[in-house]
A and B are shown apart, each in its own frame.
Chain A
Amino acid sequence: ELKVEQNPLFLSMQEGKNYTIYCNYSTTSDRLYWYRQDPGKSLESLFVLLSNGAVKQEGRLMASLDTKARLSTLHITAAVHDLSATYFCAGRGLNSGYALNFGKGTSLLVTP
């Protein structure tokens, strides 16, 4: 069964700083997803990473995937308050109808 672990679970950072969220997964996952969730809202898709070495960037967020290490990272550059949210990574297992297996989420707070 695919297990997904994120760290840190809580992150408070100052505006303008850089930081990385890590996502480890236990077995083969043919896709790696990153989602954002604002309080009381649904999940917003950020990135889907398909293969080893994949890197995707959108604004101040950059995601990468290392399938050999079973590791994905979400790098935040020059954080701004609007990035405050909970970020989830998820792997797609090969069973369960290609359902997603989620990490516990990283709650990010960006302060002035």
Chain B
Amino acid sequence: NAGVTQTPKFQVLKTGQSMTLQCAQDMNHNSMYWYRQDPGMGLRLIYYSASEGTTDKGEVPNGYNVSRLNKREFSLRLESAAPSQTSVYFCASSVGVGRTYEQYFGPGTRLTVT
């Protein structure tokens, strides 16, 4: 099993450009998440999907949209990229939304917005 996969691994955008980060998991997990990781800020939740067909905002949703395409796939879209969105983006999944459930992370996408 590949676990959680993300594409692309690296991306450079110009301010105002749009792009979609792709995430897929093959563990039959119900819940999926998008985080951003910034130096000194740790991991901050952007959006999550508790189950197929639902999405909810996390701590830092502004400037992003998500789509839970099916049970396996959860994409993150930047409609008009800004330099403040330069970050490393991690997708994660878990069996469900529950207090004891472990999260499984993808390898990350390093995004630079110039």
Say if A and B assemble together: no
